[in-house]
A and B are shown apart, each in its own frame.
Chain A
Amino acid sequence: MTDDERLDHLIAAGTETLGLHVQPEWLPAIRLHLGISLRHAATVLGATLPDEADPAPVFVA
C-alpha cells in the first residue's frame, strides 16, 4: 500500500466515523494536510518523556 493509499483509507474511515461528508475534489488537499499533520504527530510521538510527565492542556506560562 502506498502512503497516499494509506492516507485515503484513513480519510475514508475517519470521515465516515465522524459524520463528515467529503467531496472527491477536496481529497487531494485533505491528503496533503493530513500527511503534514501526521509527520508532525510522529515528531511529537518521538519525544522520550517519563510516564509521570503531566500534560498541560490548560497552560500556565
Chain B
Amino acid sequence: MSRPDAAALAAGIADGTQSAVSVIEATLTRIECLDPKLCAFTDVTADRARTQAAAIDAARARGQALGPLAGVPFAVKNLIDVAGLPTRAGSRINRDHPPATADATLVRRLEAAGAILVGALNMGEYAYDFTGENAHDGASRNPHDLARMTGGSSGGSGAAVGGGLVPLALGSDTNGSIRVPASFCGIFGLKPTYGRLSRAGSFPFVSSLDHLGPFARSVRDLALAYDAMQGADPADPVCVDRAPEPALTAIGQGAAGLRVAIAGGYFQAGAAPEALEALARVAQALGATRTVDLPDADRARAAAYVITTTEGAALHLERLRTRPEDFDPDVRDRLIAGALVPAVAVTQAQKFRRWFRAAVRGLFQEVDAILAPATPCTAPLIGQKTFVLNGQEQPLRPNIGVYTQPISFIGLPVVTVPVFPAAGLPIGVQIIAPAWREDIALRLAHALERQGVVEARPSPLEEFA
C-alpha cells in the first residue's frame, strides 16, 4: 500500500477530502504502533500537532487560503530546536540543557507553509556516526530490514520517512548525514548548497561543513519543502543573502538538454556491485555515457575528514574534559583522536578546499550534473563494526561516507535518489549539481521518478499500520 505524499495530503486537506485533524490522528497512531520497532522518534509533540491541525481545519472552514504544506506532518532531527524540548543532538549531555525557547528557523518556515510538527527524531550522538546507532536512545532501525542500520547521522529521519511514519523530515548533513540514510532507507534526500538553508536554531557539528535539508518520499515533496524553507536569515552567518529560487515549478521540465556525466575513478573504486548497478541504471535512464574524474577526490575526502575531526573536537573539548563518561564511546574516542591532529593539516585542508572547488567548477563548465554512488554498499547490520571496501576489511563508521564527503566538502547540492534492485535492499545514487543549482538535481530526480527508475517503496512494516 502506497501512502499519499505530502503534496497529495495537502491537496486533500485543501479540497476538504480529509481534515488536518484526521491526518494528524492517523499519523500519531502510526507512530505509536510502529515507532517501537523503528526507534525513529525521541519526542512526539502530540498536543502541539493537534492544536495546529485544528487551527488549519478552522482556517479552511473560514475560507482562508492554506499554505502549500497545510496539514502535512513532519518531524525533525533532534539537533534542531523545538520550543519546549531540550535540543539533545543525540547526546546524553545536551538533554540536561534547558528546553529550547523557540523553534529553529526551518521549523518556523515549514509551519508557515502549513506543515505540522509531530516530533523530534533520533540521531547519532553529535552527528558523528554515519550508522544511526546511538548508545543513549538505541539504534534507529531500517524500515526495510529491522536488523540493519538506517545510516546516519540523521537515522531517525531515514526511519521515520522510510517507514511511512511521516512524509517529510528534516536532517543535517555535514559529510553525508542526509545522503547516507536516504540511501540505506530507500527514500529521497536533498542536501542543498552550503549556505542555502538557514541552520539557525540547530546544534552544530562542523560549522564550515554543516547543512540542513529535507527527506521525502517523492521529488515534488522535496521541492515543496525546499521552496518553503529558502530565504536569507541573519541568525545564521553562513546563510547567504540570496532571494529564494523556487524549484518546484522547474522539476517537470525533464532531463532533455541537460548534460549528465558519471563520476569515475575514486567514485567507483571499492563500490559493491549493487552500488554500481544502481549507478548504471540511473545513468542509462538519463542517457549519461560520459565519465568524468573529479581530480584528487581522495584528497578532498581526506581534507573533509581532517576538518571534521578537528572542528568536532574543538566544539566538544570542554565536554570531553568534564564529562567523557557521558559520551557514546564510539563518538568520544573519535573526538579525542581529532583533538590530537596537527593544526598544519587543518590549514592545508582549508587551502585544498578552495583548490578543489575551482577544479570541480571547471568540470561543471562541461556538464550540468554528475552521478555517483551515495554509499559503497546497502545497509550493514546494526552493530557491525567493519566492512569490506576496496577489497580490504575497514572500520565501518569512518568509511561509509567515502563517496559523500568529497561533495559536501565543497558545498555542492545533491539529491539522493533511491534505487530498488529486483531483490534486496535499496541503495541511493547522488545527483550532484553545480552550486546554487538544486533545481537541476531535482529536475533529474523527477525525470527518473517519472520513468519508474527511482522510487521510495513502502516498507514491509506499512502493511500493518
A1: chain B residues at CB < 8 Å are none
B337 at the interface (CB under 8 A from A): yes
User: Are A57 and B340 interface neighbours, CB within 8 A?
Assistant: no
Query: Are A33 and B398 in contact (CB-based, < 8 A)?
Result: yes
How far apart sit A29 and B337, CA to CA, in the bound complex (Å)? 9
| Size category, A interface | 35 or more
- Given A19-B321, A59-B194, A61-B436, A43:B299 Cβ within 8 A: yes
A32 to B334 CA separation, bound complex (whole angstroms): 9
Report yes or no: B298 in contact with A43, Cβ–Cβ below 8 A.
yes
- How long is the Cα–Cα vector from A58 to B411 in the complex, in angstroms? 11
Does B197 belong to the interface (CB within 8 Å)?
no
Asked if B345 is an interface residue, CB under 8 A from chain A, the answer is: yes
Q: Which residues of A contact B32 (CB under 8 A)?
A: none
CB of B345 within 8 A of CB of A55, answer no
Contact pick for A29, options B333, B341, B351, B354, CB 8 Å: B333
A55 to B317 Cα, complex, angstroms: 24
Q: Which of B336, B341, B398 contacts A22 (CB 8 A)?
A: B336
Interface size, chain B (Cβ < 8 Å): 51
**B355, A37: Cβ atoms closer than 8 Å:** no
Q: Write the A1-41 contact mask toward B (1 if CB under 8 angstroms, else 0).
A: 00000000011001100111111001001111110111111
Pick from B329, B344, B350: contact of A57, CB under 8 Å:
B350
> Known: A36-B398, A49-B351, A61-B195. Is A44-B306 also a contact (CB below 8 A)?
yes
Contact with A along B291-311 (1 / 0, CB 8 A): 000001011011101100100
A44 in contact with B333 (CB, 8 Å): no
Is B351 touching A37 in the complex (CB atoms < 8 A)?
Answer: no
9 tightest CB-CB pairs across the interface, nearest first? A55-B350, A61-B411, A41-B345, A33-B337, A29-B333, A40-B302, A43-B302, A61-B435, A34-B337
